[in-house]
Amino acid sequence: MSATVINPALPLGSLAPSQTRWIISRRDDMVWFIGSAAISYLALALMALGFPVTLIYFIWLIGVDGPHVIATVSRTYFDKHERARLGWCFR
């Protein structure tokens, strides 16, 4: 169903967005959303070709994911102020 049938008083030019809209910003969206998906597809392609990605995975796990998880846990469970404020979530 076309937009003119739904609301004939609405001109077609007003349906198009006036500017490009990004979630965060153009740069951040390209890095964090598009870039992370591209890296994931690259890892899948390397695994399909028989490249051992285990070393890359362990470097990621120890260098990036490990500190991220530890920081999240320490802020959530070991910070007295946050624990008092959000304690009802963790019971």
* Interval 81-91: pLDDT, tens: 887 887 777 76
The answer to whether residue 38 scores a pLDDT higher than 90 is yes
| 12/14 Cα distance (integer angstroms) | 5
| 28/38 Cα distance (integer angstroms) | 14
The answer to whether residue 1 scores a pLDDT higher than 60 is no
- At 29, the pLDDT band (50, 70, 90 cuts) reads very high
43-61 confidence digits (pLDDT tens): 899 989 999 888 888 988 8
Q: Which of 39-48, 57-66, 74-83 has the lowest mean pLDDT?
A: 74-83
What pLDDT, on the 0 to 100 scale, is given for residue 14? 56
| 2/71 Cα distance (integer angstroms) | 50
* For the chain, domain boundaries: 21-51, 53-91
What pLDDT, on the 0 to 100 scale, is given for residue 72? 85
- In the 3-class helix/strand/coil scheme, how is the chain assigned residue by residue? CCHHHHCCCCCHHHHCCCCCCCCCCHHHHHHHHHHHHHHHHHHHHHHHCCCCCHHHHHHHHHHHHHHHHHHHHHHHHCCHHHHHHHHHHHC
CA atoms within 13 A on the CB side of 12: 3
